[in-house]
Structure 1
Amino acid sequence: MPLHPALRAHLDELNPRAEEAARAGVVATPESARAALAALAGFAAAPVDVARVDDAVIAGVPVRRYVPVPDEERDVVLFVHGGGHLAGDLDVYDFSARRTAAATGMVVVSVDYRRAPEAPFPAGLTDVYAVLRALPEGIDGIPTTGHVHAMADSGGAAKVASIAMRVAAGEWISPIRRQVLLYPSLDYTMSGASLRELGTGHLLTAERVAWYFDHYFPADADRRAASPLSGPYAADLPETLVIAAEYDPLRSEAEEYVARARAAGAPVSLVVAPGMIHAFAFFETLIPHETDRLYGIVGCFLREGVAPGAW
């Protein structure tokens, strides 16, 4: 379907400004990228009330814990934010973690992992894994069922998929039962067809993706081996719902990931959000119906393991 008219209007305003900045020689920095992502949070709606929210440290990593029903045992959701492995933090993604807690009724633990370029690959990934492994101690005192799921977007989804990849390789272990990968970044070699087709003018650009990866990886890193798309895959992958966006340059790698996982016998489903762009979850005030639909899908899948056949 066509690009959503509200997103089209936003891009029509944004793209000329980006082109003018490029002509003027403005160069992106980690600080400017972080500020730009934080600015997107300005499109979020008013924060959803959650009964209890507090900051803590698990395995040496700062986290924020959201407890929607403090007096009942609930499942736990590991929440891993995106931002190209370089931007994003607990505050920028507070709106989404709150919505995840409200949609699922589960305890949400949002991870403030280290970011590139100050802490390049695999520092942020190992932070997320350390929190996952230490979750029982990190949520001691909060009533839970012991069941663990994950919700992650973009670069955060890359980290969750990377954990599953290492579990399939026999290197790590994980308690995650169900996971949602929202417009995930899965191919560090940037080989996907949609990067070529949609790599300009749709908020996330192919040029910016390359810039993020150059800041994330050491010069000698094997990006193909690090890519979740490269596998390995296993039939006992957690129940996984991949939510891609129709106009996202990363869409084709999400589609290929699902195809390869299914070929291995894994319980993986794909939903493509029509008319949407990368990071569309930020734009709550522009596309309220679509963001409500998103969290409805996320809640249903993490609670019941039911993936919709289509958006």
Structure 2
Amino acid sequence: MESHLRSWLNAFHQQTQDAPLNANAARDGLKLLTQQYQCQDIAAVHTTDTMIANSTIPCRIYQPLTLHHAHSAPALSLDTDCPVTLFFHGGGHLAGNIEVYDSISRQLAHASQSIVITIDYRLAPEHPYPAGLNDGRHSLYNVFTTLDKANIPYQRSLRVLGDSAGGAMAATLIQEWGFRSCPLKGKIDKLVLIYPSLDYTMSAPSLAQYGSGHLLEKKKIAWYFEQYFVPYEDRYHASPLFGQINQDHPETLVITAQYCPIKDDGRRYYDRLITHGVHARYLELPNSIHAFLNLYQLQQEACDHSYAAINKFLNAPKKALPLTDTITQQEE
């Protein structure tokens, strides 16, 4: 691990080891950390705040802008007829919202040249499982109707993206889509999972290796899950890592961080996709930690590499990638 990252992690651990474990503290912590380290050169996009159709679920729609030079004067114009990306933010199912993830959503829209829709799903512990997942499902089924009601032109091409806990929601809903009768008018073309939390039983070997001193603590993960689930909830069957996968599963990009305690969730899910004949890519970013997208100024190389990989993956022709394409960094 690079010395500056180790020094930062040591300082962060010292500052937070005695911090209280409650929902408000977790929400404030994620908000302050993201604000402190977010990218200052935020991509230019056009935003629309509205509700997901036929619901009270808040969402923000991000439309990319393109720089044109007309009469020697540069000007930004709205891209039209773009593909659509539905984004589920992270935060352990109890933190994060549209405002906290605004910079990341802007970067995603700019990098992928797609319309990004970020939703404010309900959070635990006030709204335990499956309330947030239900909001995600309704948003998925009504994503195109939402754009129609907002008079926003788009391509009927849908991608789903989630980071951390949002990755769990994205993977779960994709699996349901493959086995249920879905009212979505169109197909889900691609899925992107960024350091996803996919195993609520906490069986990942990487938890033992990186579960202390690497920002996301094993004990805090356990606490997140205790807030998310009511007692006696079947966590195994709620875990997308163990869910049903068929060959209709969309092409998938899994991105993990080298020093993330749940990176094996992503790796094992990728392995399952390959076993089931799903076209997938796996990218493990070196010298990176969980939630690096929230830490742009600390983890700029990992962020830039991720946005570039997401852009390449989302905009490549379907199944243009090899069946298996793995990029990993050997750990020291």
- Contact residue 50 and residue 58 of structure 2 kept, 8 A: yes
Query: Which residue is 1:86 aligned to?
Result: 94
- Contact residue 6 and residue 287 of structure 1 kept, 8 A: no
Q: CA deviation at 1:290?
A: 2.4
Deviations 1:126-184 (A, max 9, x none): 10111111112111111111101022100000000011222334365663211110000
Q: Does 1:168 align with 2:168?
A: no
- Contact residue 74 and residue 144 of structure 1 kept, 8 A: yes
Cα distance in 2, alignment partners of residues 289 and 198 from structure 1 = 21
Q: Does 1:116 align with 2:124?
A: yes
User: In structure 2, which of residues 76, 91, 104 is the aligned counterpart of residue 96 of structure 1?
Assistant: 104
Query: Which residue is 1:66 aligned to?
Result: 62
Q: How does 1:118-267 map to 2 (within 5 A)?
A: 118-140=126-148, 141-170=151-180, 172=182, 175-267=187-279
Q: When the two structures are superposed, what TM-score results if normalisation uses the length of structure 1?
A: 0.93
What RMSD over aligned residues (CA atoms) do the two structures have, in Å? 1.7
Q: CA deviation at 1:45?
A: 1.5
SS of equivalent residue, structure 1 residue 291: helix
Cα distance in 2, alignment partners of residues 205 and 262 from structure 1 = 29
SS of equivalent residue, structure 1 residue 265: coil
Answer with 197-206 or 165-174: which moved more.
Answer: 165-174
Q: CA deviation at 1:17?
A: 2.3
- Contact residue 50 and residue 66 of structure 1 kept, 8 A: no
Answer with 81-90 or 275-284: which moved more.
Answer: 275-284
- Contact residue 179 and residue 240 of structure 1 kept, 8 A: yes
- Contact residue 183 and residue 278 of structure 1 kept, 8 A: yes
Q: CA deviation at 1:71?
A: 4.9
Query: Which residue is 1:310 aligned to?
Result: 327
- Contact residue 47 and residue 98 of structure 1 kept, 8 A: no
Query: Which residue is 1:56 aligned to?
Result: 50
> Which one-letter code corresponds to 2:57 in the other structure?
V
> Which one-letter code corresponds to 1:151 in the other structure?
L
Aligned pairs, number: 304
Cα distance in 1, alignment partners of residues 58 and 44 from structure 2 = 19
With over 3 angstroms needed to count, the CA separation of the structure-2 counterparts of 1:227 and 1:171, relative to structure 1, is: farther
- Contact residue 288 and residue 299 of structure 2 kept, 8 A: no
**Runs of 5+ unmatched residues, structure 1:** none
Q: Does 1:37 align with 2:30?
A: yes
Identity %: 36
- Contact residue 253 and residue 280 of structure 2 kept, 8 A: yes
- Contact residue 165 and residue 233 of structure 1 kept, 8 A: yes
Cα distance in 2, alignment partners of residues 145 and 133 from structure 1 = 16
**Runs of 5+ unmatched residues, structure 2:** 66-77
With over 3 angstroms needed to count, the CA separation of the structure-2 counterparts of 1:51 and 1:203, relative to structure 1, is: closer
Query: Which residue is 1:17 aligned to?
Result: 15
Q: Does 1:5 align with 2:13?
A: no
Cα distance in 2, alignment partners of residues 145 and 122 from structure 1 = 30
Q: When the two structures are superposed, what TM-score results if normalisation uses the length of structure 2?
A: 0.87
